[in-house]
Structure formats: C-alpha cells, structure tokens
Structure 1
Amino acid sequence: MYIMCVSIVVLPLFIVPLTSQNSSIFVPSHDWQEVLPDHTIPPGLHVRQNIRTKYTEAKSIDKSSNVTDIISDGLENSLVNLSAYLRAGGAEKLNNDSATRFRPYEELMEDFQKINMNVKTDVEIMSELVMEIKQGNSTVERLLILLEDLSYYLHQIDNSKVFSESGFDLLTYHLRHPSYEVVKAALKAIGAATQGNSDVKVVALQGGVLDHLHSILKASINKQNSSKFSTLLLSGVSALSSLLRDFPSAQKQFFSASGLSPTGFELLAQLSHLNTLDANRDLRVRILTFLTDLYSERLGALSAFEKDPVDAKKYIWNLYASIPFEEKFLMHGFCETLRSSLLQDVQEGIEGNDLSIPTNHDIREKVITACLKFFNLCDWASLDYSNKQHIQSLLDSLIREYKLRSRSETNDIDSYFTDMLLKAQKLRSMVASNGFPKSDL
C-alpha cells in the first residue's frame, strides 16, 4: 500500500509578503494556471502543487464557495493527479524508492527479537558467572576474568544483597587457591560486596568472612619478603576495611582480646612493621588510613549520642565504647608508627618553583589527616630535638609548595591544593604548641 501526502494550501491575506521590485505579480483567473518561478502570488488565491507536473498552480477563489468547498475541490483534483501519476509508472518508482529507504517490517521484528534475546539482568549475569566459577574447570586466566566481572556487578548494592545469600562461601573457598592472583581477585570481590552495604556485612560476618580475612593476613606475614604477597596484604587490608567500617559489631569481634588471635590491633601492628620497602609504605599508610576512619566513626558516634542521647544512639555508642580502641592503639605503638610514617613516607615539598616534579599527594594527604585525627591521643612533646627539627622542616616545605600550587585554584570546587595547604598549616600550628620551633610561614 502506498500513501501519498497531498498539501492543499489556502493563503490568507495577511501571510503574503510584499513583492520585490524585480518580480512579476501572478494574474489569476477562475481556472487553474501555472505559476512561473519569478511570479509573486497575490493574497487571497487558491494554491496547489500539481503532483503530475510538479508545478505550482493557482486560481481565484469563488466568493460564493466556503473553505470546505475549496478543500474538497483541491483534494479531488489532487486525487485525479495522483491516479494519473500512478498509471504513468509512479507506483513502481515509489515502490523502488521505499525499498531502498526503508527496511521491511518482518526484518525489523527479527532484529528486535534478537536484541531482546541477548538482554540479561544483572542477577542473571551474576548467576552465570557463579555457575562457571563453581564448575572448577576454569584456567587461572579465565578464573581471574570471572572474578573481575563479578566484582564489577557486586559494587551495586542490590546485586550484592542477592549474591550474599549464597555467594560468600564461593569467595572464601578461593582464598585458599594456590594462585595468589586468584586470592587477590577473591579479596577484591569480597570488598566490593561489603562496601557500604550493611545488610551484606551482617551476612558476611555470620558466614565467617572476618575469620577468613584474619587468617589470610596472619598467614601472609611470614611471606613478607615476596613482593607478590605485599600486594596481597594490601588487598586483604582493603577487604577488611570494607567489612569493618560502619560496623561496630564486627569491629568488636576483630579487636577484642576474647575474639581472634592475634587481636586485630596486634595483627595490624605486625603488618605495619613489615620490611617490604615501597610495598611496606603503601601497606602502612593504608592501615593508618583504616584506623583513622574507624576512629572518626567512634568520635562521631560519641558526638551524636552527647547531642541527642536517645536509645538508638546510646546503643550504637555503647557498641563502640565496648572496644578499648584508644588503649590498644597506644599499647601497640601506633603513635610511633604514625610519626615514622610522617617522617619516612611523606615526600618533602619541592625546592624552587618547579611544579613538574612527580609528587605523591595522596600519601601526603592520608598521613597528615591521620596525624591531625590522632594528634591529641599521641605524645608529640616527648620527641627528641632531631625528629622535631625534621618534622618542622618537612611541614614548612609542604606549606611553601602548597602555597605555590594553590595560586592556580580559583574556586571552591577546584581547591585540593588549598585544602592541603590548610591541613599542613594546621598540623604545623599544633606541633608548634608542643615545644616545636616556631615557624615564619
């Protein structure tokens, strides 16, 4: 079936533009006449497009007829022209044009069905990944791909909830895999599933995931000279952090003397003292950042309870208060670890104005943030003069550098270096109040 659109146009008096001096005015009659290209059509005429000749035609409007008569008359003439056009071979031409411009309905429906067949939900995809992993016949390379894909989908909260119903056993099983790369991938998947998801954290704790993480970190300590196991430890601490943050019940089990052995603080202290060069720096900073986050939670829970001592906030604070966090932090030497990290892991500020020198701002930020958070808990005044001089020199150099870098920042959104400057200045001011030399900056 072919449909031809026919336009019937009636030009009212108010839409015709003024003619130019170089154009001729069309002289109408009561019969249809061809309008030449250089003719201007005066207002009040009946105008049509002749489909057969493709020329514009016009005639006078009979005052005795109404608009309906005009449209009917025009439509009748247009249909006559259309019939003549089709008899003259226009139908075949239209058919060929349509075939080249448009795809058949059946072909379109077939494509849509193929697309629909290939659309799968996240849950369906995860189920297929889990099934293939469970088969146990994948190569290490294929297993790594499967675990990586699984981690991607587990970052979404709803997906993690579905997976947690039976999936953690599969991941903890692969923590015993002979390939350390597979173990790392399994740790990453555990971290992805538990991060920011309280319901999944509960399932993981009940399923013994914390015990498995503790065991793998403990077992890896004796393999500290291997760079491979250094990166494995980083993945393990990251997974542990994802599980324990904002979960005081799990924190209590990890840090309690009646829970795991060694206790959480003792285990983290041993890890932070490993001698693995650059990997040790990254691991130590990650552990300090982890403890900083937990301490911030603890202080936040106390502040919320003091401002509004309702039962719910009291219950949460009591969970945090049952953990001797500050006592164990001091007992296992984390103040010394923190000061060592400041002196050894933080790169000194640049000399001169060369801002192109490679700089690890992330480690600077994390260590300085940890120093600020734990400052009142640690004894800075008892440091020997040499360490005080070193810390003063380090902070002064950072202040100079970030003053220089912050000049390029023009708004609050782009203010990273300004924030770093403020943190360095704040820490410099705090150490100065503890017997450090005064600064001119």
Structure 2
Amino acid sequence: MPSLRSSSCGKPLLLEMVLLMTLGIFVAGFTEKSHSALSVVEDSGPVSVDDEEAHVEELDEADLDVFQPTSQWQTLKPGQAVPAGSHVRLNLQTGQREAKLGEEQQARYLREGQRVVNTEAPSFTAEELKEALKMFKEGVEDPRDTQAQQDEDLKARFRPLGELKKDLEALNMVVETDVQIMRRLIDQFNSSNATVAQRVKALLELEYLVHQVDNAQNLVSMGGMTLVINCLNGSDVELREIAAFVLGSAVSSNPSVQVEAVGGGALQKLLTILAIPHPIPVKKKALFAVAALLRNFPHAQIRFLKLGGMQVLADLFQTAGGEGLRIKIITLIYDMIVEKELMLQSGLDQIPDSSHQERVRQYSQVTLLPVLAEQGWCQLVPEVLAAVDHDWREKVLRTLLAMMPRCQEEFRLNRALGHSLGDLQRQYQELADNERELGEEEGYFGEILTLVDTVMLKVR
C-alpha cells in the first residue's frame, strides 16, 4: 500500500481522520454520565437544606461533588457530576473537560427572573449536605419549630391581663383596705348576736393586722383599743387571753399606741390578770403584753413600779407550774436594767436636746434596782441556774451581772449560788475545751464560761 505521505491526497485524508477523532471525543463528552445520579436543579443558587424532598432523596451520600455551571467555561474535576442541559467540551490545548450553562438554561433563568450561579457566592459543602441529609433521615427537629412550641406552651400557662380583669369583674369582687377590714371586724365583735367564738375569731384577725404600725394606730383612732382593753376584765377567760395578745402586738415598738394603752388603763388590768388565778396560757399572754408596754417606755415603767408590778411578778415567779414564766420575767428585768444604763450613757456622747433630756429625767425616776433588792429578787434569780437549758443559764448569768450593783453582797453570802457557779465552771470548761478541739476558738460554750468566770470573780 502506498504511504499516505506519498499519496497526492494524503493531506485531505489526514485532516478527515483528525476531525473524526475530535467529533468522537466531543460526542463522548456529551454522552458521558457520572456514577452519581442527580436530578435537574431549577434554582441555580447555592444548594440549601430547604430544597424539596425529592431533590434530597436523590442525592448519593457516597459522592456529592456536584459541578455548578455558570455562563463561562469552567474546568471539570475528575468524577464531578454535571447537571443535565449543560454544555461540555474537550479543550484540545489543555486536554481537560470544560462545561458551562446551556443556552436553554440561561434563557429560562433570565425569563423566570432567576440569576446565574456565582461560583464565588457562599454555598454548602459536601460534608454539610451529608449532615443535612443525615438529620433529615433521623427526624431532627427544626430549632425554629422547637421555639414556636415553647412560645405556645408559655401562652398556655399564663392568661392575658385583660381576661383576668374581666373574670374579676364577673365575680363582682370588692377589694377591702386594712382599715375597712378592721372596721368590719370591730362591728362584728360589737354585734349583739355575735357568739364568743365569733368574737375570738375577730380578735385574732385584728391581731394579725395590728403588727403593722399604721394599722395599730388606726385601731386607736377608730376606738378599737378601748374595745380590746375592756375585754381584759371581761367575763370570758378566752377573750381575756386573746385581748392581751392583740394589745401586746399593737403596742410593740409603737410609742404612740403605748401611750394610748397606758392612758386607757391597760397596765392595771394586765397586772390584775397576773395577780389572780388564771390558766398559765392566759398569764403568758398577759406577761407578753406587759413586757411590750414597758420596753423603751420609762413613763410606763414608773407607773408599773408604783402599781406594785414587781411584787406581782415575784408571786408569779414562785407559782407552781410557772417554770416557763420565770425565764420571761428574768428577761424583762434584764432588759429594763440595761435599757436604763444605755440611755444614761448615751447622754454623755451627744448634744442633749429637750426630748432627750426628758427621757433621761424619766429614766432616772425608774428605781428598779432598789425595788429588786427590797423584794427578794437577789435570792430568786439565782435559783434558775439549776435549769438544764443553756439559753436559760446564759440569761440568768447576764441578769446576775446586771443586778450586781445592788445584790453583790447577797450573792457573796449565798452558798448555794457559789456551789452552782463552781459546778457550771467545771461543766462549761469541758464543753469549751471540746469546742476548741473542733476549731471553734470563740464558741457558744466558751462565751457562757466567760460569764460564769466573771460572776464568780465578783462574788468572791
């Protein structure tokens, strides 16, 4: 066979062969299919997890490297899937495949107002698409749906303010002020048809209200204090007890009400309850009211002493079955002594004004310590040291120190007191040592031991 080069028609034949090979390769580029199946994506924007379900289901989890064509020719990577309708060609100079959008795709995008893909715009990676597919298959809830459900649950738990107002109006509710309630309770108490139980209930509700300073003062202005004081010498024992309770709550830390109560004769009636036979609960309430009347009120303390109040308390102190009252009486004595001392000392540290001078003058007339010495309290108070309660012992020791200016000599002659102090010193020394071993250098028992040592030092 003659050589192609020697044939006269060699050059045309060679050109035909080259063209046929190029056409074959070009057609193969069009017909080549990726191993992964991909449906047509109408939107040329970045792939989103919000695409239709059919699109997500057709993705192959093993290979999601999808080529995104634009209007310009771009080089295809090996194994990349090409969307249907794209133009593909073989670059003879580089030997690489290239692809771009087909004319029909570009025309359809422009006709429908869609944009051509910008390869530099943000898009999801293959790993992100795999994770989205995994979440879709596992049924992971959308955070937006969860938040919406939380909002619905919150609305279900609370009702709008407008609905609540309508419900209250429908119930025809009337909100009473404290003053209105107190006036209603007083009217119920004064009703001729009221039973003892109803009057007791009315007094207990008043007691709850008069803890507030303003309410206690309003009780005085509406005549309620007179009603309460009159109940102190009534015929029913239960009413006396609750009336004393109301009175003590009303005058506590309320000077103006203290003045009204003392002026209304409350002190005399309370001492009468303490002096004559009554159940212990009644006497406890009466003693509570007396203590509330006397604290920080020197005028009431002077009147109390003139009425023989300490003698009444001495008799009560020695009453059989009144052990629980003893520590309350001792606490009242201690408070009155210390209160006067603090007032007299404070006058030395400030510029005295007229009100302060008057209080100092009144406290100077409170002769409690001489009365205690005269009425045998120097012998009565040490008896309570025999109690087993640590708190009781502490209060007795502090009261002994407060009474020392008038009772020191009697304390020295009291052998029973000396023995009690010695026993307490040994007991609390051991307890204080145990506290220190536990790391408490200034514990409670160490404080009581200091009180015992101080009293012993003064009575030697």
State the TM bucket, normalised to the shorter chain. Answer: 0.5 to 0.7
Q: Aligned pair in 2 of structure 1 residues 108, 384: CA closer, same or farther (>3 Å)?
A: closer
| Distance in 2 separating the partners of 1:230 and 1:252 | 26
Q: Aligned pair in 2 of structure 1 residues 406, 236: CA closer, same or farther (>3 Å)?
A: farther
Residues 324-335 of structure 1 aligned to structure 2 (within 5 Å)? 324-335=367-378
**1:324-383: CA deviations, max 9, x gaps?**
22211211111111111223xx21xxxxxxxxxxxx444333323322322343225533
Higher mean Cα deviation, 161-170 or 398-407? 398-407
Q: Which residue of 1 aligns with 2:395?
A: 366
Q: Aligned pair in 2 of structure 1 residues 26, 400: CA closer, same or farther (>3 Å)?
A: farther
**One-letter code aligned to 2:244:** L
Cα contact 1:26–1:35 (8 A) shared by 2: no
Residues 67-216 of structure 1 aligned to structure 2 (within 5 Å)? 108-113=164-169, 117-165=173-221, 166-216=223-273
Q: Does residue 1:243 correspond to 2:299, yes or no?
A: no
Q: Does residue 1:28 correspond to 2:85, yes or no?
A: no
| Distance in 2 separating the partners of 1:156 and 1:25 | 81
Q: Aligned pair in 2 of structure 1 residues 422, 302: CA closer, same or farther (>3 Å)?
A: same
What is the CA RMSD across the aligned residues, in angstroms? 3.7
| Distance in 1 separating the partners of 2:40 and 2:445 | 78
Deviation at 1:302, TM superposition (A): 0.6
Deviation at 1:123, TM superposition (A): 1.8
Q: Which residue of 2 aligns with 1:74?
A: none
Equivalenced residues, count? 326
| Distance in 1 separating the partners of 2:440 and 2:172 | 49
| Distance in 2 separating the partners of 1:409 and 1:160 | 48
| Distance in 2 separating the partners of 1:331 and 1:234 | 25
| Distance in 2 separating the partners of 1:393 and 1:290 | 26
Tell me the SS of whatever aligns to 1:327: helix
Cα contact 2:421–2:452 (8 A) shared by 1: no
Cα contact 1:301–1:313 (8 A) shared by 2: no
Cα contact 1:372–1:427 (8 A) shared by 2: no
| Distance in 1 separating the partners of 2:426 and 2:232 | 45
Q: Which residue of 2 aligns with 1:288?
A: 330
| Distance in 2 separating the partners of 1:426 and 1:141 | 48
Tell me the SS of whatever aligns to 2:412: coil
| Distance in 2 separating the partners of 1:302 and 1:216 | 33
Q: Aligned pair in 2 of structure 1 residues 115, 153: CA closer, same or farther (>3 Å)?
A: farther
Q: Which residue of 2 aligns with 1:315?
A: 358
| Distance in 1 separating the partners of 2:289 and 2:250 | 9
Cα contact 2:313–2:329 (8 A) shared by 1: yes
Cα contact 2:233–2:240 (8 A) shared by 1: yes
Deviation at 1:198, TM superposition (A): 0.8
| Distance in 2 separating the partners of 1:116 and 1:365 | 57
**1:287-328: CA deviations, max 9, x gaps?**
111111111110011101122251333221110101222211
Cα contact 1:365–1:420 (8 A) shared by 2: no
Cα contact 1:174–1:183 (8 A) shared by 2: yes
| Distance in 1 separating the partners of 2:40 and 2:300 | 92
| Residue among 346, 367, 370 paired with 1:304 | 346
Deviation at 1:188, TM superposition (A): 0.4
**One-letter code aligned to 1:204:** A
Q: TM-score, normalised by structure 2?
A: 0.62
Residues 342-381 of structure 1 aligned to structure 2 (within 5 Å)? 342-343=385-386, 346-347=387-388, 360-379=389-408, 381=411
Q: Aligned pair in 2 of structure 1 residues 148, 403: CA closer, same or farther (>3 Å)?
A: farther
Cα contact 1:369–1:423 (8 A) shared by 2: no
Q: Which residue of 1 aligns with 2:7?
A: none
| Distance in 2 separating the partners of 1:432 and 1:306 | 29
| Distance in 2 separating the partners of 1:420 and 1:433 | 20
Cα contact 2:428–2:448 (8 A) shared by 1: no
Cα contact 1:268–1:287 (8 A) shared by 2: yes
Identity percentage over the alignment? 25
Deviation at 1:120, TM superposition (A): 2.2
| Residue among 406, 423, 434 paired with 2:459 | 434
State the structure with more CA Rg: 2
Deviation at 1:105, TM superposition (A): 9.3
| Distance in 2 separating the partners of 1:191 and 1:408 | 43
Tell me the SS of whatever aligns to 1:374: helix
Deviation at 1:164, TM superposition (A): 1.5
Q: Aligned pair in 2 of structure 1 residues 115, 374: CA closer, same or farther (>3 Å)?
A: farther
Cα contact 2:220–2:260 (8 A) shared by 1: yes
**One-letter code aligned to 2:294:** L
| Distance in 2 separating the partners of 1:408 and 1:138 | 61
| Distance in 2 separating the partners of 1:381 and 1:105 | 71
Q: Aligned pair in 2 of structure 1 residues 237, 303: CA closer, same or farther (>3 Å)?
A: same
Instruction: Give unmatched runs, 5+ long, in structure 1.
Output: 1-23, 41-57, 64-96, 348-359, 436-441
Deviation at 1:199, TM superposition (A): 1.2
| Distance in 2 separating the partners of 1:211 and 1:306 | 35
Q: Does residue 1:424 correspond to 2:449, yes or no?
A: yes
